[in-house]
Structure 1
Amino acid sequence: MVSAESSRHDVLVQRAADLLHHAGERMTGPRRVVLQALAGDGHLSAEAVVEQVKAIDPTVHRASVYRALETLSRLGLVQHVHLGHGATAYHLVDEEHPHAHCLTCGRVIDLPEQPFRALAESLRDESGFVLDAGHIALSGQCGACRAGSTS
């Protein structure tokens, strides 16, 4: 019997292979292992991806992981989001979306895109600015931390 995680991984790997082929590139071993490392939930730093890859296949070099992240990001399979103070997190996506980053606990939260569409349209109409809401996380405090800090 195939697990849901295994099935999701297979779908993501096949989608990646198709996109890579369409872009004139191929599914390399390091790219496959990076996808496997990112197949779990969460937003991982590049260093955490390197560690996950090392646990799966110790022969994959750190530079290969960074190259794979760059290529997979460029193709839209992996989204990278800047969290503040230079930190970047990576995760697998079907579509890019906005994020929030809790400054207290460090949690990264996926946000719905709809509220940002109206903001993006307003900014474009009023100033000509085109918003890339998926690239940088909004900073603040999550509900759990806010609830714990109320006195």
Structure 2
Amino acid sequence: MSDSSLAEMLRSRGLRLTAQRQLILEAVLDLGHATPEQVHAAVREVAAGVNITTIYRTLELLERLGLVTHTHLSHGSPTYHAAGENTHVHLVCRICGAVDEVDPELFQPVTDKLAADRGFQVDIGHVALFGVCGRTECGERRE
């Protein structure tokens, strides 16, 4: 998203584009999948005065604006990523913490069955599967 379109979106809601808001959005886009703490660390490299409360509030604002979305990939903080990305299922390695993505079509038979049998509509964007990734260092530590 360009600075001018972000500024226009904020202005249309009575808000203004601040350097902090821009830095936080850029950090989410650059990091791919990031917790507020990871966003904070990235932003602090550029602007040391930005505090974690500002990060959380801005991420909430950016989510309300439809620019970012979050999912829970662990028991800790939510993980944010760009909302414009295609919907995907998250694969999270329990050993190294790597996050990968797969196409939700892979799970279509399961989601169709849940809908047919139980009337349950899966929010595939919030699905995370935990396991051990195929990296050599993680595969050696499989139990």
Whether contact under 8 Å (1:101, 1:108) holds in the other structure is yes
For residues 83 and 139 of structure 2, what CA distance do their matches in structure 1 show?
A: 30
| Counterpart among 75, 81, 102 of residue 93 in structure 2 | 102
User: What is residue 33 of structure 2 aligned with on the other side?
Assistant: 43
- Tell me how far 1:50 sits from its aligned partner: 1.0
User: What is residue 107 of structure 2 aligned with on the other side?
Assistant: 116
> What is the TM-score with the length of structure 1 in the denominator?
0.75
User: What is residue 132 of structure 1 aligned with on the other side?
Assistant: 123
- Tell me how far 1:46 sits from its aligned partner: 1.1
Q: Which runs of 5+ in 2 are unaligned?
A: none
Letter in 2 for 1:106: G
Whether contact under 8 Å (2:73, 2:92) holds in the other structure is yes
For residues 132 and 93 of structure 1, what CA distance do their matches in structure 2 show?
A: 14
Whether contact under 8 Å (1:102, 1:108) holds in the other structure is yes
Deviations 1:4-43 (A, max 9, x none): xxxxxxx354554454455554433321110122232432
Whether contact under 8 Å (2:132, 2:139) holds in the other structure is no
User: What is residue 134 of structure 2 aligned with on the other side?
Assistant: 143
Q: Which runs of 5+ in 1 are unaligned?
A: 1-10
The aligned runs of 1:1-151 (5 Å cut-off) are 11=1, 13-14=3-4, 16-21=6-11, 25-95=15-85, 96-144=87-135, 147-149=139-141
For residues 15 and 137 of structure 1, what CA distance do their matches in structure 2 show?
A: 32
The number of aligned residues is 141
For residues 144 and 54 of structure 1, what CA distance do their matches in structure 2 show?
A: 30
Q: Alpha carbons of 1:140 and 1:22: their partners in 2 closer, same or farther (altered >3 Å)?
A: farther
For residues 8 and 110 of structure 2, what CA distance do their matches in structure 1 show?
A: 34
Whether contact under 8 Å (2:93, 2:131) holds in the other structure is yes
- Tell me how far 1:110 sits from its aligned partner: 1.6
Q: Alpha carbons of 1:15 and 1:81: their partners in 2 closer, same or farther (altered >3 Å)?
A: farther
Taking every aligned residue pair, what percent have the same amino acid on both sides? 35
Give the aligned CA root-mean-square deviation in angstroms.
Answer: 2.7
